[in-house]
Homo-oligomer: A and B are copies of this chain.
Amino acid sequence: MNVVIIGGGGVVGQKLARALVARGHLLGRDIAKITLADIAAPALPESGVPVEAVTCDISDRASVAACLGPEVDVIYHLAAIVSAHAEEDVDAGYRINLAGTMNVLERARALGTRPVVVFSSSIAVYGGEVPDPITDHSALNPQTSYGAQKAMGELLVTDYSRKGFIDGRAFRLPTISVRPGKPNRAASSFMSSILREPLNGQEAVCPVDDDFRHYYLSPRLCVENLIRGAEIEEAALGQNRAMQMPGRTWTIREVVDAMTAVAGPEPAKLIRWEKQPEIRRIVTGWRYDIQARKALSLGLKADESFKDNVRYYLEDDKPGR
């Protein structure tokens, strides 16, 4: 079993690699090799199985061909120009998120071996005029270029699978929290930082009111779902290879209360409540009333309680743990 993770340098790609190393098998076969591909060579986990880091620019066909050789069995395609970046640099977004995804799928097709391709889509495909609740049968009406590109990637994955070129699966990731590392420029960044920084003894700013609702998943369950996603029997996938990955809806108040329940009252005192109307404007346009029935029926899982998200951060990611 030979696995390539494109976007292997990102938070999810790195955790997925470590989980696959720890697991040792996928689709009933021992993992012989894992390749982590990214625009810069990714860090390598300690591993008993061969793990290789390669640079790959998915907007370049030769680069994609070099990192997807005939021996690949499972391709995780997690690479993307993220939302704010794709909004600012429209050409880069289409080049990486649309043409790049097409390059990955075309290379997978050219191998002639019908590899499993797991594609990370996003809840950014939702928006616009579509009524709540969002179900597996709701129209996609993205209000960012990133969301439009992810929706197009889903259509490609389903079409290439229907044609027998690949065995594709696409999962719309919820907002991942508690995300390790540093704050980034994503409007959703605070949804991890108001937990991560206080749990690390640092201040953080919450730019919205504590009744703001959103749809979350822990990194640990996201990785478990991506592994399960590769292993779902093909016949069970049906006529649409794209589906919502399960998450749960929480208010900021519930999220902070979960942190207090797990880690005591001190971290919450490190949150500064400073309203930021521009952040609020963006994030209140997002959807949180989302159902993930198909994925749940196929064995994918959401966190039981946000206390789990907090505990996983402390166990998996807190510096000096």
Contacts and interface: CB of A to CB of B under 8 A. Distances in A.
Contacts of A148: 155-156, 158-159
Interface residues of A, number: 29
A238 interface: yes
B140 A136 contact: no
A240 B156 contact: no
A131 B137 contact: yes
Contacts of A221: none
Given A152-B152, A155-B142, A158-B148, A239 B137 contact: no
A145 interface: yes
A90 interface: yes
Interface of A: 90, 94, 102, 127-131, 136-143, 145, 148, 151-152, 155-156, 158-159, 162-163, 238-240
Given A128-B240, A137-B130, A137-B139, A145 B158 contact: no
Nearest to A145: B159
A162 B143 contact: yes
Contact of A143 (B131, B140, B239): B239
A191 to B, nearest CB: 24
A106 to B, nearest CB: 9
A51 B138 CA distance: 43
